[in-house]
Amino acid sequence: MFRDRKEAAILLAEQLNPYHGQHPLVLAIPRGAVPMAKIIADTLKGDMDVVLVRKLRAPDNPEFAIGSIDETGWTYLAEYAHQVVSNPAYIEQEKTTQLEVMHERRNSYTPIRPPLDPQGRIVIIVDDGLATGSTMIAALHAVRAKHPQKLICAVPVAPPDTLAKVTPYADEIVCLEAPELFYSVGQFYQSFPQVSDEEVITLLSKNDK
């Protein structure tokens, strides 16, 4: 159990200390991981930015991911997606919806600059925890296409089966806890408030100065 995202970020930064001084690029999956990535980037003397990916939501359970999509439109579908969704048109509509959300977020999060370039850099992708792992897989795939020197997935908590799914997409996995009994990411935090778009924008604008 972590007190909050701040404590989880501090503990992750300790595990990532070998990259201190190597100017890593720390990418957060918005929104919850953005405050964490800021702490980790500051600790490691690196840069912080966001990698925009979105989960594709199950029709009757928006918290449950059937897959994910990145800004380019590349899509990951979980092996159970077609068992959950019988209508292919739903998936296409959901992809369109999430691409629109990412476009709006990109325009509001980093309106005056392009995303920081991962090419040739040590890149650490941070989330506040993994459930299905879908969004992390999309994030890793998106960044891999930009040819980083090394690609690291860093999360406080994830179930073992999810870590197994994510592992092929990363060069290294840093995960503090991998409990067998896993219902949601929030169960492993004493305090787990939502992070607002305004907080994300503030952290990114401070980072750009």
At the fourth CATH level, the homologous superfamily of domain 54-109 is PRTase-like (3.30.1310.20)
The CATH number that domain 5-52+114-205 falls under is 3.40.50.2020
Judge residue 63's burial from the number of C-beta atoms within 10 Å of its C-beta, 0-12 exposed, 13-18 middle, 19 or more buried.
Answer: exposed
DSSP secondary structure string for all residues of 78-126: -TTHHHH---HHHHHHHHHHHHHHHHHHHHHHSTTSPPPP-TTSEEEEE
Chain segment 50-99, per-residue pLDDT in tens:
999 999 999 989 888 999 999 999 999 999 998 999 888 999 999 999 99
Is the predicted pLDDT of residue 139 greater than 90, yes or no? yes
Q: Where are the domains of the chain?
A: 5-52+114-205, 54-109
Chain segment 140-185, per-residue pLDDT in tens:
999 999 999 999 999 999 999 999 999 999 999 999 999 999 999 9
Q: Could you tell me how many helices (H) and strands (E) the chain has, helices first?
A: 7, 8
Quickly tell me which residue has 């989330």 as its tokens.
127
pLDDT value at residue 209: 58
